[in-house]
Structure 1
Amino acid sequence: AVAVGHISLGNLRDAISSNELKMPDLQTPQLWAEDQLLSVDRRLAISLDGVYRRGEIYMRFLQKLSSVFFGTRLGRLLCLYLLLPALGSFTVIEGLQHMVGPVSAKLFGVHPVISTPLTLVAGAAFVFLLLHVGVVRRVTLTLVRALGTGLRFVLWTAPRAIWALPIVRYVMTSRVGRFVIRPGIPTAIAAAFGTGWLRWPVAGGVFVLFQIILNARVGQLGQEVLGDWAVRSGRHLSQRVIPGAVRLLLDFFAKLIELVDRAIYRVDGYLRFRKGQSVIVIAVKGALGLVWFVITYLVRIYINMFIEPVVNPVKHFPVVTVAGKIMLPLFPAMLSGMTGFLEPFVGLALARSLAGFTVFVFPGLAGFLVWELKANWFLYRATRARTLAPTVFGSHGETMVGLMKPGFHSGTIPKLFAKLRRATWKADERSIAKQEQGLHHVEEGLWKFVDRELVSLLNESQSFKTTDVAVKHVTIASNRIQVELACPSVDARVAMITLEQQSGWLVAGISDPGWIDHLDDHQRRIFEIALAGFYKLAAVDLVREQLEVVLGGRSIAYDISGEGLVAWPGDGYQTEVIYDLHSPGKATVRGPSLAVQPPRFDDRRALYHRESMPWSTWAATWEQLAAGQSPPRIVVGPELLPPRSQAASGGVRHAS
């Protein structure tokens, strides 16, 4: 509200949906009366008049309708076991029918029939199993990864391996290869797709063109420049250009809606009654306000429900596309009915224009409903995620992965540092100040996140026996976040938690234990419990303390690369052991053989992202601590805390 000047029912709903504070199930009287969200919505519109805008009638109706399905046990059973499998199957299969069919007909002259009663039932059964059977989800994910690996092998790995063969390199660099084989490949493709009498002249022109490109000095120089650009731009395209375009679209439509809201609020401000105004001014404002109320209602309905989901490609595909195809036979009747209804009020020409535009954007309603219902689902305690999941924080509502990992995850921190470097090179003081302000906002959001999800838990736990844990400082770099925690009652030294983004993995660890070394065993257990939950909420993939236990101690050098975890267990760096972190199993050894078998990683022993932490277990653990009981370890793998140093082990303080 402070940043944008106003809030609405959508903001209130999103805050509850993404927060751990959830609503209980509907009680019987609430089935026909207001639920808690609508009650708060009505009261805030009165107590925060001018700042809070009560939800429009269609938003309140959608919330009321969804609460019956999402906020009751029977409604959730219908959604999870009947409606969602049926709708999911229908959307996917119909989407394939309407998108794959025309392409196949254009290329091969065959229009396949994908959507049949049998495929719809089979699709619904598959979606049902995905939702309710964990084994099916894991097998499906494994098959998808295997398919990706197979496609990469066929399209990238195998061609590169064949090209690297000495015989192939010799043939392709010989005179026959340079002047016949290499230009002959595109020539054969042109001849195969050519038709009519132009077929062979075009093929000949292609042959001459590639002779120049591949063998002339100018062409060879162009190949070197193009190859260098392709190598540099391939990563840039996948990590910045495409994700940046997606984010740009989302930000553009969000800003557009915000500008419309600001304009509406500004006009609302002009039309508000004020003390000292004459009767004539009040009467005019009242009449204009009535007209303006109708206009703003229609504008919000059209923009939020119809226009934005249609023009926003992220929301458009595939829901709006499928809805449009399904509704296509109904469009003439809708157009005729709306034209007849509007003609007495605005005339035939304008009625046809309004009706045509409405019919055109009407499929956007499907996209609007999907996005709104997705947020409504997470309003209730019974629909919260079963396990601790990454949470959003900060002014822009991003996860830790979204802050640190470039690509589709956003990568706010590396993006800000890249902009800061460019501004520094250009000596653009205004841009430098802007990027530094952005980094300061990120640090502030991180400080609040750590304080809320880690520090507050420790301070509010009576069993921890200390109440002065605090975030002293947060330092960020392009791929690293370092959090300093202070606890003066235990020790003057600060403890440092470091989170790093390495080759797409979020790696966490305690780089300096500081005052943690001086906790007694019971306090260490509580700190580890709080840290385990914090790591889950921060989307941590790997924990250095766990990796070092499995590898055999901190004396083993290791790194995390694109291949996985690379360790050098022997003397020097002659032998390296590579662990595939996506599918842990037998390690790959490169270099001289080792005297002992390298350690083996299993699913949960050292791969923190594979360790599930149920919400029920997490909540029960803190309830046990509040009751003065000693809960069991919440982590299955090795400890998350580093071993207590020898200097501190003799001077552990037992806080009272």
Structure 2
Amino acid sequence: DKGAPNRKLFDRLIQKANRVSEQGNSVRAALLRLRAAKYAPEGQSGETSIAAMGELEQLSRRLQSALGLGDAEAEQWRDVMVSLLAKSTKGFWSADKRLLYDLQKVCIDHEREISHIDLVGWALSLGKQPIRRLLPIQREVRINKHLRQATSRLTSIRLSGPEREQLNELLHHAADQVETQLRERLRPLVVEALNEVGFEPINLPERVSRRKIVEELLDKITHHGFVNMSMLRDAISRNNLKMSDLASPKTVFQGPGCKALGISFGIMVVLLTLGIVTCFRSAPFVVNLALPFVDYRLGFSVPPSAGYLFMGLGGLILVATYLSFQKDWLLQADKQLNKSLDGVYRRGEFYLRWLQKFSSLAFGTSAGRFATVYLAVPFGGAMIALEGLKYLFDKVHGVKHGEEAEATEHVTHLMSWFDVKNHPGPFFLGIFIVGVFLCGIIHVRSFRVAVVELIKSTFTSVRRLLYDLPRWFWQHEFLRKVFRSRPMRWFRRHVLYPLIFAALFGLLLPQMGLYSRPEPFWLGVIFLGFVALLNSRAGRDIEELTSERLYQAWDHIRVKWVIALIETTVNFFKRVMEGFERGMYAIDELLRFRSGQNIFILVLKAGLGAVWSVVAVTLRILVTVFFEPQVNPIKHFPIVTVSHKFMLPLTPTIQAALLKLNPSLGSIEAGVIAGAIVFSTPGIFGFLVWEFKENWKLYSANRNSRLKPVLVGSHGESVIRLMKPGFHSGTIPKIFKKLRRIDRTKRPTRRKRLRARYEEKLHHTLIDIRRFVERELLVLLDESHQFGEKNIRVQNVQVASNSIRIALECDAFSSGPLVLAFQEQSGWLMVGVLRAGWLNELKEWERLTLELAIAGFYKLAGVDIVREQLRGCFTPGLPPYDVMDKGLVVWPDGHYQAEVYYDLHARPWMRPRPRSLARQYDLPTLEANHALYVELAIPWETWVACWNAEESTNPMPTLFPHEVNLLPSKYLIPTKSVS
């Protein structure tokens, strides 16, 4: 849009454009020149616009150098950026403008060196560590980050169809190329760091896990721009390459720690003796003789309670000395990666390292594991569970805790006996009984199965009484006719429904204190108003829509809704904490020095960096240790809740202690400080429990004894949760649902923009699935003896609302790809070979190796039913079938008239119903572990033994207790049974 000529404004804009152009800000200069062209005098508008295009020409050359582009591709980038620039003039901070700035940041980071100014590290190392360290890896990481940001803006830009497609292709190609180069640059560094600390695999499955750990760390770097100790710990705990146990005290004592351990042992003996002497003042004569000497040497009388401090300090010194000579792979890898990936890897904070050190005593030793799984977990869990129940009952009955608890302690309710102060006997007896019960559930499989069956049978009985029986009455033909009769419909619409709503607004809501209860006259008015509303056209539409929405909501949450709610909460707070970490890291990046900046900036960033290093540690401790466990309901109940109950009575004691230490402190101030301590401290316990949960899984002795499903999606979804609609699952069907809704949008531009957004989400989901297949199946085959040189790769991944098809191609064969089809049917994950492809060309040993790899891959995917296995249970063959809510439905007549079903939840036998049809068509009774893959387990030891045999070409041990068909014979599975 051409404005009125304004020479003064034009000159000012041109001067500003020249100045920012000299500083390397080509995008800003181009925008200023375009703006100046609107106010240019006669004859200068075209020249100014050409100068703006020249700025983009310069930017394209810089981008060509940064990304290593050819001349033709650089020309394409220039044309696309010209189109973006034209759209960037509209709006304050549009996506088009931000995308141009992202591309310019790519050029800036390529042209400038990045350094870290570490004044604190230099001072602590007494000058051995340089103040300024170059961060060459950081440059490539930031380039990748800016390209990812630019890619995320593609869905919001305002380019037309062809230009949008061209930019989409160019940007995705550049982002993929840079990410690939970054991974190839960092992968050897990560592998070398892990090798240097001895974190090496000893068998083929562990080699696969080690490669997956490396790739997951690279995922974090490419996605977040950094990686830290917590991410490294989580990657190890999720995978099957684990840490070994701590060395025994005997080994440490005989090794280099002999002298230090002896000295610390002597100190411990002295402190332990001092503690015993201090604690038992009124004990034997010899002890009483020693006390005056102790008091004389110290210069004051030692209180008896100080003895516990002495004993604890002595034990702590001994334990710390013992741990200092232990080889902890995680901490050593944390230190080594901090050197190898300087600026990208952030070493764990001191409290996380200490926590790992001391938790290794409980999780990395046989004695510690025994105390954990047989004492701490069952009996500690019993106390927490009972305290949590008592807390809930106290809340219901109005029992107060803390200072006023004395007066209300004997309120009678179901859990009033669980009180260590007033009922110590029942208190400890209850912990013992519940602890033994939990111990049996954890360690005795037959007892655990019996408890689960008892719960299931109880739930089934209650459901039959409260749900199935009323439903049967409701569906009875006579009652259905009665409820659908004209008088009953009139009664519902004119009396029952209006009466319910009138009671809600006239009685229930006033009872809750929202407003005062209306007079009878107004109750009648409300009733008549609802009669008129519900019988109008709008009322009928509202009723129909409400019923439909309620039914959909119930259908979504009726299956595992509690688990889904918990998972939603956990993932929400996980994303919040990831955002907090990204924000902290962004400030770290801001304080890094870049070439071209002056000495004043260097000094300023050095000073601010020193201050920020202290502030950052403080913020992380406050947020991760104290604040987040308090506001996260999953961590808060019951751990933090029970901790609050124990801490609240200490408020007066802490307040009195503060006043004694500082008499000038007022009573109100002391109360506020004591309250802050009491209410913030319990968060530590929630933090510790969740950290211990992950630390436990670091050690090989604590590895799952069987192969378990793994996470596939970037948001923590398994394969079934990618496809199964639900409260916090169904990523793929939700995307397709959005796409169908978008296709009904009338405005073409909005439709294209929204469709591009959800197609981008679908693209990322396909990448997640591809990586899952590559890391869990193809890497396994690549490491094997039979397929090590056959170069199997993913040809493509196709998804629909409830299915995933994976095509695997192999250069060594010419029969086309092998296609695996995963499907979600009524909550069950089914899989089958859709096309055999090169499977028919395999030799016997190759087929055995592939079947072994497929068996593990299906377990990691969480497969419930394998079609080939199910087909093998029927003789001569499986008739047409489907999986529905009521179970496996088969049509033995082949014409879909006679219908027989198997209850897939029945154990151990699944009998066909109705029996008359089953006998007529001679349908077998199925054994669950023969028909359902989910009932079969792959022990870790057997899994390792099979692959060891495959590598040495020895006969493989039996993977399953009976023959299981996972791959078809030389035929194509009919499409009808798969679709």
Matching residue within 945, 959, 968 for 1:642: 968
1:69 aligns with 2:362: yes
* Superimposed CA distance per residue, residues 15-73 of structure 1 (whole angstroms, 9 cap, x where no aligned partner): 11111221111224473335111111122223322221111111111111111111111
Structure 1 residues 292 and 631, CA gap change in structure 2 (3 angstroms)? same
Q: Is this contact kept in 2: 1:70–1:377, CA < 8 A?
A: yes
Structure 1 residues 461 and 415, CA gap change in structure 2 (3 angstroms)? same
Alpha-carbon offset, residue 560 of structure 1: 0.5
Alignment partner of 1:604: what SS? helix
Q: Is this contact kept in 2: 1:339–1:355, CA < 8 A?
A: no
Distance across 1 between alignment mates of 2:463 and 2:667: 58
Distance across 2 between alignment mates of 1:210 and 1:159: 31
Alpha-carbon offset, residue 637 of structure 1: 4.7
Match of 1:496 in 2: 819
1:548-627 to 2 correspondences below 5 Å: 548-552=871-875, 556-584=879-907, 585-589=910-914, 594-627=919-952
Q: Which moved more, 1:28-37 or 1:573-582?
A: 28-37
Q: Is this contact kept in 1: 2:384–2:639, CA < 8 A?
A: yes
1:96-245 to 2 correspondences below 5 Å: 96-103=389-396, 111-113=413-415, 115=418, 116-169=427-480, 173=485, 183=496, 209=527, 217-218=535-536, 224-236=544-556, 238=558
Q: Is this contact kept in 2: 1:525–1:633, CA < 8 A?
A: no
1:263 aligns with 2:583: yes
* Superimposed CA distance per residue, residues 65-124 of structure 1 (whole angstroms, 9 cap, x where no aligned partner): 111111111111111111111111112221112114433679xx9522263333221111
* Superimposed CA distance per residue, residues 441-465 of structure 1 (whole angstroms, 9 cap, x where no aligned partner): 2222222221222222223322457
Match of 1:78 in 2: 371
Partner amino acid, structure 2, of 1:510: V
Quick one: percent identity of the two aligned structures?
A: 37
Q: Which moved more, 1:453-462 or 1:49-58?
A: 453-462
Alignment partner of 1:24: what SS? coil
Alignment partner of 1:493: what SS? coil
Distance across 1 between alignment mates of 2:474 and 2:879: 37
Alpha-carbon offset, residue 284 of structure 1: 5.1
Structure 1 residues 626 and 556, CA gap change in structure 2 (3 angstroms)? same
Match of 1:2 in 2: 222
Match of 1:367 in 2: 686
Q: Is this contact kept in 1: 2:739–2:755, CA < 8 A?
A: yes
Distance across 2 between alignment mates of 1:632 and 1:210: 78
Distance across 2 between alignment mates of 1:12 and 1:535: 26
Q: Which moved more, 1:237-246 or 1:450-459?
A: 237-246
Structure 1 residues 350 and 457, CA gap change in structure 2 (3 angstroms)? same
* Superimposed CA distance per residue, residues 232-288 of structure 1 (whole angstroms, 9 cap, x where no aligned partner): 332245579988876664454334333333333333334446678887766654444
Q: Structure 2, unaligned stretches of length 5 or more? A: 1-220, 253-321, 400-410, 419-426, 974-979
Partner amino acid, structure 1, of 2:927: D
Structure 1 residues 564 and 46, CA gap change in structure 2 (3 angstroms)? same
Q: Is this contact kept in 2: 1:546–1:606, CA < 8 A?
A: yes
Q: Which moved more, 1:397-406 or 1:161-170?
A: 161-170
Alignment partner of 2:451: what SS? helix
Number of corresponding residues: 642
Q: Is this contact kept in 1: 2:900–2:917, CA < 8 A?
A: no
1:390 aligns with 2:709: yes
* TM-score between both structures, scaled by the size of structure 2: 0.59
Match of 1:412 in 2: 731
1:41 aligns with 2:334: yes
Distance across 2 between alignment mates of 1:341 and 1:560: 72
Structure 1 residues 202 and 152, CA gap change in structure 2 (3 angstroms)? farther
Matching residue within 304, 310, 323 for 1:31: 323
Alignment partner of 2:377: what SS? helix
Distance across 2 between alignment mates of 1:111 and 1:97: 9
Distance across 1 between alignment mates of 2:884 and 2:872: 19
Partner amino acid, structure 2, of 1:66: S
Match of 2:167 in 1: none
* Superimposed CA distance per residue, residues 520-553 of structure 1 (whole angstroms, 9 cap, x where no aligned partner): 2332222111110000000000000111121335
Structure 1 residues 469 and 35, CA gap change in structure 2 (3 angstroms)? same
Alpha-carbon offset, residue 161 of structure 1: 1.2
Alpha-carbon offset, residue 477 of structure 1: 1.6
Match of 2:628 in 1: 308
Distance across 1 between alignment mates of 2:940 and 2:381: 27
Structure 1 residues 439 and 168, CA gap change in structure 2 (3 angstroms)? closer
Distance across 2 between alignment mates of 1:408 and 1:216: 31
Distance across 2 between alignment mates of 1:343 and 1:435: 64
Q: Which moved more, 1:627-636 or 1:165-174?
A: 165-174
Distance across 2 between alignment mates of 1:590 and 1:182: 47
Alpha-carbon offset, residue 134 of structure 1: 0.9
Q: Is this contact kept in 1: 2:655–2:670, CA < 8 A?
A: no
Q: Is this contact kept in 1: 2:647–2:682, CA < 8 A?
A: yes
Distance across 2 between alignment mates of 1:342 and 1:560: 73
Alpha-carbon offset, residue 405 of structure 1: 2.2
Q: Which moved more, 1:575-584 or 1:266-275?
A: 266-275
Q: Is this contact kept in 1: 2:803–2:823, CA < 8 A?
A: yes
Structure 1 residues 633 and 493, CA gap change in structure 2 (3 angstroms)? farther
* Superimposed CA distance per residue, residues 362-391 of structure 1 (whole angstroms, 9 cap, x where no aligned partner): 322222112111111111111110000011
1:54 aligns with 2:347: yes
Distance across 1 between alignment mates of 2:533 and 2:603: 84
Alignment partner of 2:224: what SS? coil
Q: Is this contact kept in 2: 1:487–1:515, CA < 8 A?
A: yes
Distance across 1 between alignment mates of 2:935 and 2:708: 12
Distance across 2 between alignment mates of 1:70 and 1:305: 21
* TM-score between both structures, scaled by the size of structure 1: 0.86
Alpha-carbon offset, residue 152 of structure 1: 2.6
Distance across 1 between alignment mates of 2:540 and 2:588: 66
Q: Is this contact kept in 2: 1:186–1:207, CA < 8 A?
A: no
Distance across 2 between alignment mates of 1:335 and 1:291: 32
Q: Is this contact kept in 2: 1:482–1:497, CA < 8 A?
A: yes
Distance across 1 between alignment mates of 2:491 and 2:330: 74
Match of 2:292 in 1: none
Partner amino acid, structure 1, of 2:968: P
Matching residue within 485, 488, 493 for 2:808: 485
Distance across 2 between alignment mates of 1:418 and 1:564: 26
Distance across 2 between alignment mates of 1:140 and 1:98: 26
Question: Over aligned residue pairs, what C-alpha RMSD do you find?
Answer: 4.0
Distance across 1 between alignment mates of 2:345 and 2:969: 52
Match of 1:652 in 2: none
Match of 1:21 in 2: 241
Q: Is this contact kept in 2: 1:85–1:124, CA < 8 A?
A: yes
Structure 1 residues 47 and 520, CA gap change in structure 2 (3 angstroms)? closer
Alignment partner of 1:20: what SS? coil
Structure 1 residues 378 and 352, CA gap change in structure 2 (3 angstroms)? same
Matching residue within 529, 533, 549 for 2:856: 533
Alpha-carbon offset, residue 306 of structure 1: 1.6
